[in-house]
Chains A and B, each alone.
Chain A
Amino acid sequence: MKKGAILVVMLAGILAGSVAPGLAGFPATFEWKRLGRETGLPMLKTLSVEMLDGVIYAGTGKGLYQKMGERPFERVVLGEIPETAILSLKADRKSRDLWVGTLHGLARANRGRVDVYTQLNSGLINNVIYGLDPVGKHVWVATAAGASRFEPSTGRWEIYNEKNSPMKEIWCYGVAGSEKYVYLAVWGGGIMEYNYATGVWKNYFDPDGEFEMDLFRNDGPPSIITSNVDYDGKTAWVSTYFGLGSYDGRRWLEWFEDSGEGMPSNFVNNTRSDRNSPGRTRPQRVWACTDRGLGCFDGKIWSLEIADVQVHSVSFEGDIVVAATDNGVFVGTAKAPSAKAGQDAGSGTEKDQMKIVPPVRTGKEVKTP
C-alpha cells in the first residue's frame, strides 16, 4: 500500500471519529472462549461451524465433530464420506436437518440418520462443496463445478453452470437465499442472483473492474473474487478477497480495511448476518470472517472480536456466537447487554432490520488484500 494512500485514509478515519486505518477493528464487544484439541477436536483448523439445538458442529480438516454441552467433541460419521475436510455446514431449522458440504460430497444428518449424496450416486454436479443453504423446499449447493439445487422431497436435482446460466466461472464458493432470491458467490464471477418467481439469473460484477482499488464506492460488489455470500431475507452480504459488500435489492454498500469503519481486513473468507438467529435477544450484527480475525458490524462500525487468526465460518443460536478458525473453535457471548437489547430482538420483523449507516467515500479506497 502506498504511504500517501495510508495517510489520506488515516486522516479521513480520524476526522470521521472512527478507528485508525491499519489498526483495524474497534474493541471486542463479546467475550470469547477457545475450544482446542483439549476439547476433543482432532486438529485446530476448523473450516466450518454451525449451531443447532445447543449442539456445536465443527467442520474440521478431518471430519465433522459435534459438542453437546460440557461433553468433549465427538466425531459424527458421515456414511461413506471419509475423514475429510468439511467445508460448509448449514442447519434447516424447520426440519432440524444438518446439511454438510465436504470435499467428497453432500450429507444430511438428522437424529442418527445420515444420507450421502455424491456425483456418483445422485444428480449432484460435483463432490467439492464449498457452500450450501437449505432454502424452502430446496437445498442449494455451491461446488467447484457449478451449483446444484436439490429437492429432497422429490429427489429432483437441477444443475446450474456455464451452459444454462450466465456463470462466468464455475467455482462457486457460497450460496444463500430465501424463497424469493438466491445469491451465488462465484469466485471470479461476482454475485449471481436467482429470482424464484421468474427462474432468471442476474449478474453483479465489480463495476470498476479494478482489483486493487475501489474507484466509486458503493457502486456494486467490491470485487468479482467473491468468497462467500449470506442473505438474511433483507440484505445480501458478500465477502470478497478485496472487501465486503451488501445489497438490499436497491443499492450496494461496501466496506474496506482502510475506509475507516474498522473492517479488520479486506481478505474476507466468509460473512454471515445473525438477523435470523433463533432466540436472539441482542441486536442484530453482521460478521466478517477474515484472515486477520473476526469482525462484527453493528450497522456503523466494525469491532474486532477475535484477533490475529484466520477465521473461516461463524454461526449463531440465541445470543451465542461460534466461530471456526485456524486455532480451534471460539464461542462468544456479548460482554454486556446493549441498552437497546431486546428492542430490536426477534427475527424476521421489520424492526429487527439493522440500521446501516452508509459508508461514505473517503478518497481512494484501497482494497489490496
Chain B
Amino acid sequence: MAILLSPDEEQIYLANRDSGTVTRLSIRTGKPTAELKVGHWPIDMAFSPSFREIYVTNHHSSTVTVIDVARFKVARTLPVDPYPWGVTVRAETRGLKPPVDVLFTSHTYLNLLVKRDSLTGRELATLLVGRGAGRIVPSPDGKLLAVTALYSTESVPDKRPMPEVDLVSPDPFVVESRVFLPGANLVRGGAWTSDSRVLILPVQLPRNVIPDVTTADGWGMGHGLAILERSGQGFSVRHVMLADAISSHPEPHHVVIDEKARRVYVASYSASRVVALDLDRLLSLVRGWPAADIEELACRLDLLHDYEVARLSVPANPRAMALTKDGRTLFAACAFDDTVAVIDAPTVKMTKTLDLHPRQPEDPVHRGLKLFASSKPWFREVFACTSCHPDTHLDGLANDLAVDGLGRNRVDVRSLYGTAGTEPFKWTGSNAGFYSECGPRAARFIARSKGFDNLELDDVVAYLRSLVLPPNPYAGDKNLAEAQERGREIFFRTVDTMGRPIKPRDQCAFCHPPPTFTDRRQFDVETASNTDTIREFDTVQLTNLFMSAPYLHDGGAPTLEEVFTKRDLDDRHGRMNDLAKEDLNDLVAYMMSLGPSSLTTDSGAKEARSDRKGDHEGGYPR
C-alpha cells in the first residue's frame, strides 16, 4: 500500500495492493470518492512535477499506470521491465525533444534503475543498482535519487548481510555514490532532511550469523534505522535499534521527517504502531558515537528511551505515511485493515480512521494474513513471520538457528509462494505440513512464545495455502525460447552426451518432476557442507527460481551455475559433468523459465510490449 497527499491536502490517494486499485479519499468527508482499477499489485506511486498525473508501479503486471488526476481516469498504461517497485518523476531539463517529464522506475529482481520517457515508457538509460531494488527516495535538492535494496549485494554464508543504497544522479544518470549498510537487510522507504544531508531509512538488523545469534541484544532479529549522513565526499552510516529490552517496533516500513517539530515518525508494520522519535536526540546520538564502536550501536537495547517520544497503536499493518505541510496531521495507511489512521502529530493521538469500505467480517485467509504479518504472538514482539518472509517471500538470508547448536546446519530461508502441494517442509523434510511447520515447532523454536492457538493456526494455514506463485517473466507468453527449449531437452534427457544411459536417479526430472518440480522426498546429493550434521535434504521445488537466490539448503550457491559447478564437483547432483558450458547455459535458461506463464498484463500494455523489438529474446524478460 502506498499513500499520496494531494498538494491542496484535500485528497488522499491510496494504492491497494491486493485489489489492484487506487482509491481517492476526501479528507474533509472521510469518505472514498472514487476507485480506479490499475494493474496487479500496485506498490508505489508518485506525482508528476505538475501534480496533474500520478504514476503507479504495478509490481506483478510489469506496467506503470498513469492516472489523470483531474478526471481520475487512467491516462495510459506503460509497459516496463518486470517487477517495477519504486517510482519517481522529474521535469526534464535537457535532452528530450519535445521536453517531457522523465520517469524513474526500480525493478526488484533485475536490480535495475531505469530512466524513461514518461509519455511512452521508452527506456532512456539503465543502471545496475542493489539486489532487490526497492523504493526511490529523491533528495529535496533534486540532485540525488536514493534507491534502496531489500537484499544483501553479496550473498556470502557466514557473513553479515550488506545491502547497498545507491545514490544516483538523475542527470547525468550515474551512480554518484554507493553506500553499504553492514549488518542490515530489507531496506525500505525512508526520508531525507530538507538540506539533503541526512537520509533515514528503516531497516532490518538480522542476527543470522555467529556471533550475533544470541538472546540478548535482540534475539534472532532486530529492527532499526539506518542513518546516512554526508561526510566529506561520501556518507557515514550508523544503525540504531527500534527496540528495548522488553519491547520492539518490528518491521519498520516507512519513515517521515518533520523538521519543524524535530520529529521522525516510523511506521512499524508488524507491531501495528506509529512511533515518534526525537530527531535531534537521534542525530546527537549517532554523531557522538565513537566510530570504532558503531557495530555496538546497532545492538544497544538501552538507548531507545533516549530518542523515543511516543508510540501509538494503529489499525493493522501501517505501511506508508504522509504528513501535512504544517506538520499537524499524519496519515498512516494501514494495509490489512483497509483504512487510514489520522493522527494528530503533535500529541501523537489517533483522531479518526478513514475507511476504504464498510467493515466486513474477515475471512480466514484475511485473518491469516494479518496474523502472518503480526508480531503480537512472538516473544517480546521482536519479529513476525513476515520478518523472514517479507510479503510471504524470502529475506535472502541463511540462518544459523541456535536449536541444533551454533555453527551447525545453517539454513536458507525459502519462499512461501506456491508451497501448497510441496510438503513436507523444512530443509530436512521433517515437518509433514503447514500445521506442524507453523504450530508447536514455530512456537517453541522461532517464536519462543505461545505462538498461534488452534483457531489462529487454521487461519494462518488457510492463508499460506492461498498463496500462488507470482508471474515468471522468464517464462514467456507462449513458447519456450530456443535456448530454453534446448535446456528442456537436457532437463528431461535419459542419455548423456556420449549416448550412454543416465541412471534414473541422475536424471533431473527424477527428483524434480513437473508440475512443481519436486518429488517431495529427501536425497543426499553431496551438497552438505562441513558444518552440516545431516546429509539428506528436501528436494526443493524449481519454480520462480529467478526470485529465490541464493540456492541450496545453506544458501551457499548465489547463482544456479554454482549449484552445478562449485557445489557439484563429483557429479552427484544429477549427471552434469558431460555437459559443455553452452549446454549448462541452456539448462539454466530453462530452469529460470519454470513457473507460471508470463506476465499478467493490463489492457494495452501487452500489445505495446509485444511491439517492442527484442522483447523476451532468448527467454529473458526485456
Contact = CB atoms under 8 A, between A and B. Distances in A.
Are both chains from one complex? yes
A121 B562 contact: yes
A364 B214 CA distance: 81
20 contacts: A95-B125, A95-B127, A95-B128, A95-B175, A96-B175, A97-B128, A111-B176, A113-B153, A119-B581, A121-B562, A121-B566, A122-B561, A153-B110, A153-B112, A153-B126, A153-B622, A156-B618, A156-B620, A159-B585, A163-B582
Interface string B115-127: 0000000000111
Interface string B549-582: 0000000001101100110000000000000011
A95 B164 contact: no
Interface residues of A, number: 31
A249 to B, nearest CB: 23
Contacts of A154: 110, 620-622
Given A120-B562, A125-B581, A110 B126 contact: no
A154 B177 CA distance: 23
A158 interface: yes
A274 B385 CA distance: 57
Contacts of B180: 112
Contact of A110 (B175, B561, B621): B175
Contacts of A299: none
B588 interface: yes
B178 interface: yes
A105 to B, nearest CB: 12
Contacts of A151: 620, 622
Given A153-B128, A154-B620, A120 B175 contact: no
A97 B177 CA distance: 13
For chain B, what secondary structure do more than half of its interface residues adopt (helix, strand, loop), or is it mixed? Answer: mixed
A94 interface: yes
B174 interface: yes
Interface in A57-83: none
A153 B126 CA distance: 8
Chain B interface residue number, banded: 20 to 34
A4 interface: no
Interface in A128-163: 137, 145, 151-159, 161, 163
Contacts of B589: 156
B106 to A, nearest CB: 13
Contact of A125 (B127, B582, B620): B582
B175 A161 contact: no
A123 interface: yes
A161 B622 contact: no
B175 A121 contact: no
Interface string A160-199: 0101100000000000000000000000000000000000
A152 B174 CA distance: 16
Contact of A159 (B128, B153, B582): B582
B126 A159 contact: no
Nearest to A126: B581
A155 B177 contact: no
Contact of B174 (A96, A112, A121): A96
A123 B306 CA distance: 52
A251 to B, nearest CB: 31
Interface in B172-216: 173-178, 180
Given A121-B565, A159-B582, A161-B582, A152 B559 contact: no
Contacts of A115: 128
Given A113-B164, A120-B561, A155 B125 contact: no
